[in-house]
Amino acid sequence: MIRSYWIETYGCQMNTAESNALELQLKGAGLVPAKSAEDADCAILNTCSVRKSAENRIWGRLGLFAHIKTLHPLTLIVTGCMAERLQEDLKDDAPHVDYVLGTNDKQKILEVLISPESAELRSETYSFGDSYYNEGEYSSYIPIMNGCNNFCSYCIVPYVRGREISRPVEEVLDEVRYLDSKGVKEITLLGQNVNSYHYENDGKVITFPSLLERVCSVAGEIEWIRFESPHPKDFSDSLIRVIKEQPKVAKHLHIPMQSGNTRILGLMNRKYTRDRFLSLIETIKREIPEATFATDVMVGFPSETEEEYQDTLTALDEMGCIEAFMYYFNPREGTAAVTFPGEVPEEERGRRLTQLIHFQHKIFVREKSERAEGIAKVVVSAVSRNDKDQMLGRTEHNEMVVFDGSSEVGSIVTVRLTGLKGNTYTGSLIV
């Protein structure tokens, strides 16, 4: 009989949210979390396929679980994007895996554990969970849509997540109300292409700006509402207006650029140009002067020249991000870019990425130094490991702050910023 479980989550925030929903189901059925993977009756790997490195790490873990199964009975389940991409090939290459459940079948894991003979697998459509709350957390995810219709030439997501499907409005709002009742201080609306949210009910269409306004109206004591990840092509004037007018919407925006060169953006099938992207950033800065930015950047895309790479650096300088997720192109089997000519040698991709990281670090210092003094609201996240008389927290702009004083984890406090040490602000609690 399965009494305990062990969940490992890889990859994106959506996977984290879905693992939370799965854990709620398992606990509701009377199962308990195991102290370690070695102690579990059931192990569930919620996998990622965005990069090959993620899959390589999972293959390594599967080797460990094969060894554990020689020591005691263990039901091993692989789910998520890697399971969707490899399906039965994964079972053939790792016969010690008991069940391979794709993206649409995560909600059926409990059914598989309780009644494996009657469980129907390989669902055609994605279904949302009832709740994604993790007990005791002060920051929570709310998936509002799943899938992607964009087919960027380098990206596996549309193939492993499927087409876009939006969660019913009332389900989203009910989740917001529930999280507010649990004392959650910040929420993040999630979707692979979150701002293409589109829900129809009785002939009425609700788009993402409309949903965001409705979420604000029921958020109660929730301090900040964030969203991940928007697509620049769907970042409308209406959305900018809602961000500007609604004080609960955090003024820190993650807007993936990927490349600062128009030709490369075309090859990526991103559906916008360099000028259009930078115009969007300029509009947001003009309408919302307090806004800060995070972005995603890829270098070394097939046929990218040194001059085109330099275009990315100048675009980043103009954007002025305080966060950036940087990586070089790695081909993913099944995507269009695998067949593109003009492969950039791996050594050159590595050089460009290293230079990019150093370049962006200077931008971090420049942008953050300008914000190193003043008053900021902070959600307290932990006691500092280096000094028990100090606390750690994050601001509305997702900036880490270490400050003197004692506060309850999960509370919102006001801090006077006094400086910048590395990427972390220093400050003191205002009582």
pLDDT at 362: 96
Residues 6+ apart with CB under 8 A from 372: 417, 418, 419, 420, 425
**Mean pLDDT, residues 357-381:** 95
Which percentage of the chain shows pLDDT scores above 90? 86
> Do 108 and 101 contact (CB within 8 A), yes or no?
yes
Give the C-alpha separation, 49 to 80, whole Å: 9
Instruction: Compute the average pLDDT of residues 249-257.
Output: 98
pLDDT for 417 equals: 96
Q: How far apart are CA 121 and CA 274, in angstroms?
A: 44
* pTM score of the predicted model: 0.94
Q: Which residues pair with residue 299 across a beta bridge?
A: 328
Main-chain dihedrals φ then ψ at residue 427, nearest 5 degrees: -170, 180
Chain centroid, CA 216 distance in Å: 21
Task: Summarize the confidence of residues 33-44 as an average pLDDT.
Answer: 94
Q: What CATH number has the domain spanning 282-370?
A: 3.30.750.200
120, pLDDT greater than 70: no
Looking at 3.40.50.10490, 2.60.34.10, 2.30.30.230, 2.40.50.140, the CATH number of the domain 374-430 comes to 2.40.50.140
Residue-wise pLDDT for 280-307, tens only, equals 999 999 999 999 999 999 999 999 999 9
Q: Do domains 128-250 and 282-370 have the same CATH topology?
A: yes
User: Domain segments of the chain: what residues?
Assistant: 4-114, 128-250, 282-370, 374-430
- Per-residue pLDDT band for 119 (boundaries 50, 70, 90) equals low
Please state the rounded mean pLDDT for residues 345-360.
97
- What's residue 118's pLDDT? 61
Q: Which CATH number fits domain 4-114: 3.40.50.1370, 3.40.140.10, 3.40.50.300, 3.40.50.12160?
A: 3.40.50.12160
What is the H or E stretch that residue 302 is in? none
Residues with Cβ within 8 Å of 426's Cβ and at least 6 positions away in sequence, in order, are 401, 402, 403, 417, 418, 419, 420
| Distance from C-alpha of 381 to C-alpha of 407, rounded to nearest angstrom | 10
Tell which wins on pLDDT, 24 or 114. 24
pLDDT at 306: 98
Q: Is the pLDDT of residue 325 over 70?
A: yes
Mean pLDDT of the chain, nearest integer: 94
**The CATH number of 128-250 is which of 3.40.50.150, 1.10.150.120, 3.30.750.210, 3.40.30.10?**
3.30.750.210
With CA atoms as reference, report the closest residue to 296 among 275, 270, 263.
270
Give 89-108 pLDDT, tens digit per residue.
898 999 999 999 999 888 88
